[in-house]
């Protein structure tokens, strides 16, 4: 087996100081890098003062532009090809997550995955196939790839929150309903939010929804 790629990316320590009690992994979209999402920390620190954040750079150069990174290629958008790309990147991301959890001395119940666009595809694929259930998966403007395979492959069922723009011209808003149906069919608890007037992006209300959900997922009794 080829050696796994070691991911790197920007990190933020807990706003409250001291050791982290939670870990939030932010997975960026196609053609971006980890710096694209690390700015969410400034909005979510009040919700999650004891959380450490890390936004790894995807492992591969974006193959449709001279800049940016990708988790897998989208030159061929066939489902089988995308699933193959997800299978390739899964052990790379899992190795990174395991290393970060160990570094912070945390377990899966203290882990959340957050994705945007292609990062959401990765977060859903990886989060539902890890051996132990993480606290939650939050996905913005993405999609569930290979819903027909999920029931046979799912290993854990963290609650999922999906937020999507109603006028998204990159990943059509119809993907929100398809993802919700596929997740529910696999026994996953899912909440979805369709944001009126929003294109392919994250708006202030989406940020608030995500932060509030993360706080609740990490502290369900609060």
Structure confidence by residue, pLDDT tens digits, 9-49: 999 999 999 999 999 999 999 999 999 999 999 999 999 99
DSSP string, 101-135: HHHHT--GGGEEEEEETHHHHHHHHHHTTSSS--S
Catalytic, out of 43, 57, 193, 200? 200
Is 200 one of the annotated active-site residues of the chain?
A: yes
Q: Quick one: average pLDDT of 128-145?
A: 97
Does a structural domain hold residue 2? Answer: no
> What is the CB-side half-sphere exposure of residue 94 using CA atoms within 13 A?
15
pLDDT tens by residue, 168-194: 999 999 999 999 999 999 999 999 999
Is 156 one of the annotated active-site residues of the chain?
A: no
Number of domains in the chain: 1
- Report residue 19 CA to chain centroid gap: 23
**In contact, 167 and 153? CB cutoff 8 Å:** no
**Residue 160: closest CA among 186, 197, 195:** 186
Does a structural domain hold residue 5? Answer: no
Handedness of CA 99, 94, 39, 53 (dihedral sign): negative
**Residue 219: closest CA among 55, 26, 49, 101:** 49
Structure confidence at residue 220 as a pLDDT band (50, 70, 90): confident
Does a structural domain hold residue 4? Answer: no
Catalytic, out of 28, 33, 117, 213? 117
**Structure pTM?**
0.96
Does a structural domain hold residue 47? Answer: yes
Q: Domain with 163 in it: what CATH number?
A: 3.40.50.1820
Q: Quick one: average pLDDT of 149-158?
A: 95
Does a structural domain hold residue 153? Answer: yes
Catalytic, out of 36, 110, 164, 168? 168
Query: Which two tokens mark 218?
Result: 């990490």
| Domain of residue 170, residue span | 11-218
Is 168 one of the annotated active-site residues of the chain?
A: yes
Q: Which residues, in sequence order, are bridge partners of residue 27?
A: 115
Q: Which residues, in sequence order, are bridge partners of residue 69?
A: 61
Residue 222 reports pLDDT greater than 80: no
Tokens 């990147």, residue located: 89
**In contact, 68 and 119? CB cutoff 8 Å:** no
């Amino acid at each position: 087996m080829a050696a796994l790629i070691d991911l790197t990316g920007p990190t933020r320590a807990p706003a409250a100081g001291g050791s982290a009690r939670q870990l939030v992994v932010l997975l960026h979209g196609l053609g971006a890098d980890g710096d694209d999402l690390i700015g969410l920390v400034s909005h979510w620190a009040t919700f999650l003062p004891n959380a450490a954040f890390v936004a790894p750079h995807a492992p591969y150069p974006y193959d449709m532009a001279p800049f940016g990174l990708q988790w897998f290629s989208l030159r061929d958008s066939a489902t089988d090809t995308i699933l193959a790309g997800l299978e390739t990147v899964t052990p790379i991301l899992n190795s990174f997550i395991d290393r970060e959890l160990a570094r912070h001395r945390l377990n899966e119940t203290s882990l959340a995955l957050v994705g945007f666009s292609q990062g959401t595809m990765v977060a859903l694929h990886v989060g539902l196939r890890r051996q132990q259930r993480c606290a939650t998966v939050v996905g913005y403007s993405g999609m569930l790839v290979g819903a027909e395979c999920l029931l046979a492959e799912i290993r854990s069922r963290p609650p999922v929150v999906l937020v999507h723009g109603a006028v998204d011209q990159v990943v059509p808003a119809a993907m929100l309903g398809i993802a919700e149906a596929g997740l529910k069919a696999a026994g996953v608890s899912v909440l979805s939010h369709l944001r009126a007037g929003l294109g392919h992006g994250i708006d202030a209300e989406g940020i608030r929804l995500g932060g509030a959900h993360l706080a609740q997922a990490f502290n369900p009794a609060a």
